[in-house]
Structure 1
Amino acid sequence: MDTPKEKSGWSDRELEASIDAYLKMLDRELNGQTFKKSIENQLLRDGPLSKRSASSVEYRMQNISAVLEQMSLPRISGYMPAKNIGAGVAQRIRKVLASKVMPSAGEFAPTSDQRTLISRASNLQKKGLKVEPLGNPNPQQVSTTTTSYVRDPKIRAWVAELAKGVCEGCGQKAPFEVDGLPFLEVHHVKHLAQQGSDSITNAVALCPNCHRRCHLASDKEAFTLSLYGKVSRLVAE
């Protein structure tokens, strides 16, 4: 969406220049470095955005913030997400972002390491996820001494937040805390090894006892099936 005074559509070159400037500022913010939005705005208008006003550039940055928030990615705190962003604009921004390297992506990136997954999900849960993560229907497989799957910490954080510290299998409170949060293990009802998806419709937050029950108990199949009746978001795969 453009401001009322500028009805001409933004070119791909203008949009990419805006996103490049935004990501440069985001990298500085995430690394504790200072910058001035007004200076970056002026630099853009002195260069590739010479036909745009200061307010138009500001609003474009708010568009970018809105898309990043929708994608559960970090955004610049000084650019509040624009409201009612057009679907066409959002799609174009997503397309450009897909070709960029996100600053500090490692903090939010999927991982096959269990300890790293727990740490990243805890950080995400503390920050708060505003948009339900899309998940990955075909998680990447990596080979180590054993076979692990690259899992998205946003899925773990979202499911843990929905559980509110209560096991979705037995209804009991989490037995302890990790990183200041109630600890529940996120279990894929259809195992990833069975080509289950890494998504909130295939994941539940369980206490360690219920988690082990799903894997080891004599009634593990019956108990697993009972989860579909207890947790309404689950979809059988």
Structure 2
Amino acid sequence: MRALRVLVILVVVFGGLFVAADRLAVNFAEDKAAEKIRGSQGLDKAPDVSIKGFPFLTQVAGRSLDEVDAKLDGIRTSSEGKQLRIQELSAQFHDVKLTSDFSSIESAARATGTAHISYADLTKAAGADVEIGYAGQKNGNGQVKIVPRLAGLPALNSLEVTGTVTVVDRTTIQVRADHLPSLCLSLPGCESKVRERTDHSWKLDRLPGGLKLDRVEASPDGVKISASGTNVKITG
């Protein structure tokens, strides 16, 4: 019995040491991955990275991780010199492969992600001559309210139109007014002037892992983005 107790104690002690070493290793790996993602995305601060699965050291030995999650904030893209800021991007990478020297995360078999763009950031990116907000739902789909400022067209100073946010080619977010009032359509050059302010697009080609856009949805607190990818490269 005494020998059994000693054996149990040794198992517990060495098991505890293994768990401690495993957690130290995973924390180090998470910090390294966060710095690589920060550099590749040009972020002001490192994202939160979480490596799932236990034990980590066993996964490393096989050069494969079950899942790596990353939360980023402040990704920016530009169009015609105007920057669009993406908030709260959360990405999940599954079946992750490590480089041959175990120094870096290389790729993932599949990935999913969600993100959020506030109407304040969308308005700022659209320029000084327009304001974008939420307009409720139509046929079950969220709509945006677009208020252009039209200098030189006093008859349309109070113009307000509804628009749709869509994904183009899985890379681009597009905001477009659905219809313009008949008064505008009857004035020479009015439609082009209005659409210069109401219609915008931004190419999101720097999402982590090369994620591709699946859908966007206008909601009361901003535009929600869903993205995914297969055989994606996580860091540069």
Question: Which protein shows a greater Rg?
Answer: 2
More helix by share: 1
More strand by share: 2
Higher relative contact order (CA 8 A, sep 6+): 2
Tell me whether the two structures share a fold, i.e. TM-score over 0.5. no
Report the TM-score range of the alignment, normalised by the length of the smaller protein.
under 0.3
**What's the TM-score, normalizing by structure 2?**
0.25
